[in-house]
Structure 1
Amino acid sequence: MAKRKVYLISFDAFGYEDVAFASKLPNFKRLLDKGTWVKKVQSTYPSLTYVAHTSIMTGLLPLHHQIVNNTKIQPERHSPDWHWYAKEVQGETLYDVFKRAGYKTASLLWPVMGRNKSIDYNLAEIIPNRPWQNQAMVSLAASSIPFLLKMEARHGHKRDGIQQPALDYFLEGVLLDTIRDYNPDFVTAHFLQLDSMRHYYGVNSEQAKQAIIDFDGRLGRIIRLLEDMGQWEDCLFVLVGDHYQLNTHTVVRPNHLLSRQPGWQTLGRDGTIKSWQVYCKGADGCAYIYRKPGAKITVKEILDTLRPMMPMIETVYTAQEAADFGADPNCLFMIEAKKGYYFLDDLAGDFQESVDNPTSDAKLLHATHGYHPARNHYATTAFYHGPDVKVGHAVETGRLIDHAPTILSALKLNFHQYVDGNVLYDIFR
C-alpha cells in the first residue's frame, strides 16, 4: 500500500494574531476553509526558534530534548555556536520514526538536524562560525552532499547569504524541486522571511505584512504542485508557526552588572568572558542565570547585583519553576523581560541600549521572542489539511509539543519513547 505523504512546513514567527490578515489571502483562506485551524498554539520556554523546532520534531519539552537555547554557553567566543547537529537532540525525532517505517525523508533548513542519518535529502540550516570556514564548507559537512550540490547548482543564484527574502526564494525553489524530482514521503521546510522582517522592522511593519503576502504566494505554488502530482487530497499537510514576536525598545546586557563583582567573571582583552562563576545566558525575551558548581555566591547576592535591572524584569523564576515550564533545570534561576525589553549576554555594547538610537555597532532588534509562551497576544498557530482532517473546523488551543504525536497518529505510527505532547484528536474526523 502506498504511503501517505506528509508535508510539515514551518512559517517562522507566524502567530494567532496574524490570521485576521492572512485569512484574506487566497491560500491561507483555503487552509482555513478546507482544513482545521488550531487557533492558539503555545510555544516552548524559551520561545526560541531552535528550541521550538526541536519540540515540534520530538513532542518533547526542552528540558527533555535538551535544546534549551538557540546557542551554546560559550562566553569566551564573540559568536557562540548554534545547536546545528541532530546528535545534540536527546530522544527520537519524526525523521527517526518515519525512516524506521520505511519512509523516504527530506529536511530543508529545519533547525538542529545537521548530519541526521534518518534524513535522505538534507539541506541543513547552518552558518560558518570560524574564520577559516565558508558557507559551502559547513553546508557540505552537515547536509546530503549530492542533493545539496544539485540544488545549489539550480537555485544558488537566488540566495544572498542569509538575507531575506532571497533565502526564502531559494528555499521555495529547492522545496518544489525536491517534491517534483525526489518525491519523498515526509518533507519538512523552514521559512524565515517573516521572522527576519519582524526582528528588524517590527511586528506589524509593512515588511512583515509583505512577508505574509509573499508566503501566501509560496503556499499557493506548493499546493498547485501537489495538485498537479495528484497528491493534495491524499496527503497530510501541516503548516505551523513556532513562536510569535513582541516589539522592543531597549536591549539589556546583564553581564555588565555581574562582571563588576570581584571574582565573578574574568574578562579578556577582546571583551569576551574568559571564565566565570556566575553568568547570564541571554534568550532574548528571557535569560538564564547559571552558577558554577561549588561557587560560594548566593542567589541573594546575585539578585542584589541585578537590582538595577529590576524595572526591566517582569518575573524571576526559580530553577524548579523553570523546569516546570520545560526550560533548562540546570540554571540557577531565570529572568523574564518586561514588555519592550530583551536580554543579550555579550558585553559589546552598553548595559542598556535603545534599539532606535544604538550606541554600539550591534544590529539591534525592533521585535523579538524568547518570552514566556503564556504572555498575552503571543500565541503561535497551526493549520492541518488532509483526508482525515475535519473541514472548516477550529480547535481552540494546542502546544508545539502536540504536533509530532498528532502527525504520527494520523499515520498510525508511534514514537518508541515517552513524549510530553498529546494527540489533538479533535482535528480528525
Structure 2
Amino acid sequence: MVQRPDYERHKRKLRRNRRGGRPEQPASRRSVLGQVYFLAQPLSGWRFPPSGFSFLSLRSLRSMFLFQSLRLLRRVCAIALPGLVGCLLAQGQSARTPVIMISIDGLNPHYVLRAEDHAAGIPFLRSFLTNGTYAQSVINVVPTITFPNHVTLITGTLPEQHGIFNNMLQDPNSNLIAAPMEYGNAIRVPTLWEAAQSAGLKTASVFWPVSLGARGIDYNIPPIHTQGTPADHYLLEAVSRPDGFLASVEKQIGVYSPEEDEDDFVTRAAIAVIRGQRPYLLTVHLGNLDDAQHHSGPDSQEAFAALEKIDGQVRQIADAERAVYPDADIVIVSDHGFFPVSHVINLNAEFVRHGLITLSKTGHIASWKVFSWTGGGSAAVILHNPDDRETAEKVRQILDGLEKDPASGIAQILSKQEAKAFGGTPETEFLIDCRPGFYVGRGLTTPLITDASQKGTHGYLPVHPELQSSFFIMGPRIARNRNLGVIDMRQIAPTIAKELEARMPSATMPVLPVDR
C-alpha cells in the first residue's frame, strides 16, 4: 500500500532548502516529474502538490508510475481487446464469402436479358443486371443436357474429365431399362462441395442433379428417379444424408410427394436448410422451366408463367440466405437453353435397316456393331469394336447420305478427332448435331423420321446461342452492372471456390472478374 506523505515534514524540508540547504530541483526535472504527477493523479486515491515530488526518491516515483500504468493498461485492454480480436478475425476472413448457387434448369439468358420483350414479370432476376455481375451467355458442354452440365458447373471440368457423359447410362442392350446417371459418387474429379468441406466449411444441397451419394455434402437431399407413388418420400428419406435429416426437415415443411409441384418442395426445403443448418455453400436446383419448355416449347406462355413463379421462389430462398448471412453471394446458373422441335431422327432404326444392329424377337437389341447414344439434339455414334474400320467407313457413308438430305434433320457430322475437342465421351466415333426442329430418338423399328412427342428440347452442340446457359451473381462485394460477355461454363466453379477461399486445382480455367 502506498503511504500518504508527511506534509509537515515536507514543509520543514522546503524551508531548510530555501535557507541555503538542499537546492531545489532543476526546472527540467520538475517538468518530467510534473508529467508523472498528472498521469498518476486521475488514477490515485489521493492527491499531493507537484512541489511535493521533491521529497520522493526516483525509485519510488518509478514504482508508483509503473503500478498506476499497469492499472490503466488493464482497464484499456478489458475494454478494447475483445473488439480488437473481433476486428482481426473479421479482417482475416474478409475475403471468404458464403455462397448459395441456384440452378434454373433450361434458363437461356435471353429470358432475363430481354425480359421486356416478353413482358415477363421477373423483377428479382432482373435486379442482377443492375445490382450484380452477369454473363451475356455461357458456353456449356456436349451434350447440352442436364446431368453433364450440372457436373461441369460443380467441378469446372469437361465430361471427359468428370466422367458424366449423358443423362442416361450407355445401354445398347437395354439391360438397365433407361437407367439415369444420377450417382454423384461416379464423379471422377473433386467438386465444389469437397473443396468447401476441405476448407472447413459446412455444405448442403437440395435436388442438385448427380448428387446422390456425392462426396463433400454435409446435408444432402438429392433428386431421385421416383416411381410416382406416395411411397416415394420413403425412398427420398433413405438416400438423403445424414440419416434422419430429411425426416426432420419434413416435420417443418411437409412430406415430399410426387404429386406436389417439385419446385415448391425444393424452395421450402432450401429455406429450412438455410435456417436450420446454416451451410456456407448451398446448391439448389429448380426444374419447372425445363418441364414447361419441353411441354410447350421455348418462349411459350407456359414457360413465361413457370419463370415468373421461379422468380418469386428464388427471391424467397435469397431472402432466407441473406437473413442468415447478410454478406452472402447469390448465384444463378443454368445448364442449357432450348430449341423448338417437331420431328425425331431415329438413327438406330436406320442402322437396323443396314444390318448394323440385330434385334431379338421381342424387339430389343440382340447384337450391335454401331449404336447411336442420343443426347437429344445431338448423338454420339459409338462402335462396338473401336478398331472395326470397315464398319466405321460404312457408318460414315450412311451418315453422309443423310446429311445431304435436308429432310433428314442432320446439320453436321463431326469426326472422332473433331468430337474430341468438345470433351465428350471418348468412345465417340462420330458426333451428330441436328438441325433446329429435330432431335435424335431411340426408335429401333420406326421410320427414320417420326413426329416429336414434345415441343422443345436441347442437347445440341453449344455453338448455338439458343442452347447456351446463364450466369448471374450478386452480393455486397460483387461488382454492379458488370457484363462479362460470353464465358466458359468451366470458369464458374473456380470463381465460386475463390469466393469461398477454397482450393480447386482440377478446375484450371481463369476465375471470372466478379468482385468490385
TM-score (norm 2): 0.75
Q: Does 1:115 align with 2:213?
A: yes
Show the counterpart of 1:218: 313
Q: Give 1:390's match in structure 2, choosing from 467, 479, 488.
A: 479
Tell me if structure 2 keeps the 8 A contact 1:44–1:51.
yes
Alignment of 1:18-33 (within 5 A): 18-19=111-112, 20-21=114-115, 25-33=122-130
Change beyond 3 A, Cα 1:332–1:133: farther
Structure 1 letter corresponding to 2:276: D
Give me the whole-angstrom Cα distance separating, in 1, the residues matched to 2:230 and 2:317.
34
The reply on whether 1:332 has 2:425 as its aligned counterpart is no
Residue 266 (structure 1) shift: 2.9
Unaligned runs of 5+ in 1: 356-363
Classify 1:259/1:134 alpha carbon distance in 2 versus 1 (closer, same or farther; 3 Å). Answer: farther
Aligned match for 1:413, one of 479, 486, 502: 502
Counterpart pick for 2:365 among 248, 273, 281: 273
Q: Does 1:199 align with 2:294?
A: yes
Contact 1:128/1:134, CA 8 A, preserved across alignment: no
Task: Name 2:173's counterpart in structure 1.
Answer: 76
Shift of 1:218: 0.8
Q: What is the CA–CA distance in structure 2 between the aligned matches of 1:353 and 1:238, rounded to whole Å?
A: 40
Deviation at 1:295, TM superposition (A): 3.7
User: Aligned in 2, Cα 1:175/1:72: closer, same or farther, shift over 3 Å?
Assistant: same
CA distance in 1, matches of 2:161, 2:358: 32
Per the alignment, residue 67 of structure 2 pairs with none
1:281·1:287 contact (CA, 8 Å) conserved in 2?
yes
Shift of 1:285: 0.7
Alpha-carbon offset, residue 353 of structure 1: 1.5
Who wins on radius of gyration, i.e. which is larger? 2
1:78-133 Cα distance to aligned partner (Å, 9 max, x none): 7321111122111100011011111111111111111123111111122148x999
Residues 233, 257 of structure 2: 8 Å contact kept: no
* Cα distance per residue 1:208-244 (max 9 Å; x no partner): 0001100111122123223433x23x11211111110
Superposition deviation, residue 398 in structure 1: 1.0
Give the SS at the match of 2:424. Answer: coil
1:43 pairs with 134, 140, 147, which one?
140
Question: How far apart, in 1, do the equivalents of 2:237 and 2:322 lie?
Answer: 32
Quote the Cα distance in structure 2 between the aligned partners of 1:132 and 1:378.
33
**Whole-angstrom distance in 2 between the partners of 1:308 and 1:270:** 30
Residue 136 of structure 1 deviates from its aligned partner by 4.3
TM-score normalized by structure 1? 0.89
Aligned to 1:187: 282
Task: Provide, for residues 241-263 of structure 1, a one-character-per-residue CA deviation record: whole Å limited to 9, x for no partner.
Answer: 1110111010111100111233x
Tell me the amino acid that sits aligned with residue 62 of structure 1.
P
Q: Which residue of 2 aligns with 1:246?
A: 339
What residue identity is the alignment partner of 2:427?
Answer: N
The answer for unaligned runs of 5 or more in structure 2 is 1-88
- Check the 8 A contact 1:127/1:138 in 2, yes or no: no
- Cα deviation for residue 315 of structure 1 reads 0.8
Q: In 2, Cα distance between the equivalents of 1:326 and 1:296?
A: 22
Task: Write out aligned runs for 1:58-77 (5 A).
Answer: 58-77=155-174
The CA deviation string for residues 141-197 of structure 1, in whole angstroms up to 9 with x for no partner, is 532131222334544556435x7xx01011111011111111111100010000000
Secondary structure at 1:266 match in 2: strand
Query: What amino acid maps onto 1:172 in structure 2?
Result: T
Structure 1 residues 349, 125: closer, same or farther in 2, change over 3 A?
Answer: farther
Distance 2:146 2:475 in 1: 26
Point out the structure with the larger strand share: 1
Paired residue secondary structure (2:467): coil
Q: CA deviation at 1:413?
A: 2.1
Q: Which residue of 1 aligns with 2:463?
A: 374
Indicate the structure with greater helix content: 2
Distance 1:118-1:396 versus aligned 2 partners, 3 A rule: same
> What amino acid sits opposite 1:30 in the alignment?
S
Structure 1 residue 297 displacement after superposition? 3.4
- Confirm or deny that 1:303 pairs with 2:390: no
1:14 aligns with 2:107: yes
Contact conserved, 1:37 with 1:394, CA < 8 A, in 2?
Answer: yes
The aligned counterpart of 2:258 is: 160
In structure 2, relative to structure 1, the CA distance for the partners of 1:254 and 1:30 (3 Å cut) is same
Q: State how 1:338-353 maps to structure 2 within 5 Å.
A: 338-347=435-444, 349-353=446-450
Q: Please report how far the alpha carbon of residue 56 of structure 1 lies from its aligned counterpart in structure 2 after TM superposition.
A: 0.3
Change (3 A) 1:313 1:205: same
Are the structure 2 counterparts of residues 378 and 265 from structure 1 closer, same or farther at C-alpha, using a change threshold of 3 Å?
A: closer
Alpha-carbon distance in 2 for matches of 1:299, 1:277: 9
Q: How does 1:122-141 map to 2 (within 5 A)?
A: 122-128=220-226, 135-136=232-233, 138-141=235-238
SS at structure 2 position matched to 1:258: helix
- Secondary structure, aligned partner of 2:283: strand
Distance 1:154 1:79, change over 3 A: farther
Query: CA–CA distance in 1 between the matches of 2:465 and 2:284?
Result: 28
- Sequence identity percentage: 27
Q: Report the Cα distance in structure 1 between the residues aligned to 2:256 and 2:208, rounded to whole angstroms.
A: 19
* Alpha-carbon spacing, 1:149–1:269, altered in 2? closer, same or farther (3 Å): farther
- Higher deviation after alignment, 400-409 or 215-224: 215-224
CA distance in 1 between partners of 2:230 and 2:183 (Å): 17
In structure 2, the residue matched to 1:358 is none
Contact persistence 2:383–2:392 (CA under 8 A): no
